[in-house]
Chain A
Amino acid sequence: MNSFACRLFNVAFLVLALTACATIPPYKPLIPESGVACPGIFPPKAFRVVQQIDMKSALIGKGVFIGAAKVEPQKNALHAVLMSAEGMVLFEAEYENGDIKIISAFPPLNNPAFAKGLMADVSFVLLKPAGGPVEHGVDGQGLSACRWAAAEADAVFETALMPDGAVRMRLYGRDRRVAKESLAWPPFDRGMPARISLKAFGPSNYTIELMLIEMEFVD
């Protein structure tokens, strides 16, 4: 019975994995189309933001945090603080043009790999990619999409406007597989979405929901 259950689990896991892969179409060049506007997903100038962060992973279960960040798109820089829901600072770091400086971190969050992953997630959802789009048009699903050269070598950042008004963001790795995908849900407060859900693929599978608490432009 145990062996049967185990086999059943393996089959179910395989089906789920294949289904997950099947839902993400392979990377293809966009079909050029005139008049495609890139979704204005990021606030146009420096801003401060506070968000509730719900994290779900197989490793830690579900956790709730508060995130605060000061984002400076012109400098390709941000300063992020991760707090417990009660306001205790757990992690604080700066990011500028790919360089990360940890200011403070409670163990085990002081692990450089964790810091790199966390700051990559924060920059993925909050920082407008540098420069203009390198490609725009319509993707295989008929969605208006734009692509930028991402900060990571050979990676591609993509935005696409969904039929329900949400904006999908994807990061394709150098192997052109989707490394991260997020959905930014309206309403948008001066460019900042009310809710962002982020899913990271690969060995450290996790999902993060970011709910906007407040946002203001830096004077």
Chain B
Amino acid sequence: MNHIKTGVLWLAVLGIFFVGPVWATDDFEALSKSAQNIKSISADFIQEKHLKILAKPIVSEGRFYFKAPYSIRWEYLSPVKTLTLMNKRGAMVYILSEKKWVIDKTKSDTRGIVMDEINNWFTGHFQENPAFTPVYKPGVPPSVILTPKEDMKNFISRIVLKLSKTTGMVEQVEIMEGQGNRSKITFKNEKLNVDLPDSLFEKP
């Protein structure tokens, strides 16, 4: 009789472990699919850069536009104006010089990698990048924790993406770096599936 009780208890315990991930995976897949239904996004963002040496964060503000499958406009409005455009031809970084946008050739190559990653997040493809191990955490809000594998570990300890429970859209990104430094980007005034002209992603 005791053996049966013990067996039932173990089954219950194992059940919790098994049922948990299955439910979480279903939820994760549903959210990923929801995100894949997003065809365009227009949003403002606030970025807080926390450095160990500063008492308060450096706050940047900007605008973000996304159009599936592969177009992004990521624009910082303050305190330093910069602009990254990504379209089917690749990524291009612009800086303001004497009130005119000029191409920053030094950054355009590497920025393509970052923009690819952002594109993955906003299209619900959280498992696309082999450099990170994604773990889904259900909750309010649900989140995806991306832990870097070997190469990135020295610079990023983890990335936390907080998602909208209804649309699967990334609502907040937190990037934990070493030395107690971290960045938090919060999106607001989001508009989904609005009509965005292609020129927005091609010219400053």
Contacts and interface: CB of A to CB of B under 8 A. Distances in A.
Interface SS of chain B: helix, strand, loop or mixed?
mixed
Contacts of A214: 58
Interface residues of A, number: 29
A68 interface: yes
Given A61-B106, A87-B183, A48 B54 contact: yes
Contacts of A79: 53
Interface of A: 48, 50, 52, 60-64, 66, 68-70, 79, 81, 83-89, 92, 103-104, 106, 213-214, 216, 218
Interface SS of chain A: helix, strand, loop or mixed?
strand
Contacts of B43: none
Contact of B55 (A48, A60, A86): A48
Given A50-B54, A62-B104, A216-B55, 11 more contacts: A61-B106, A62-B97, A63-B106, A68-B51, A68-B53, A81-B51, A85-B82, A87-B60, A104-B155, A104-B178, A213-B58
A213 B82 CA distance: 15
Interface in B12-38: none
Contacts of B80: 52, 64, 66, 85, 213
26 contacts: A48-B53, A48-B54, A48-B55, A50-B54, A52-B79, A60-B106, A61-B104, A61-B105, A62-B102, A62-B104, A63-B107, A64-B95, A64-B104, A66-B79, A68-B51, A81-B181, A85-B80, A85-B82, A85-B95, A86-B82, A87-B49, A89-B51, A89-B177, A89-B181, A104-B155, A104-B179
B146 to A, nearest CB: 16
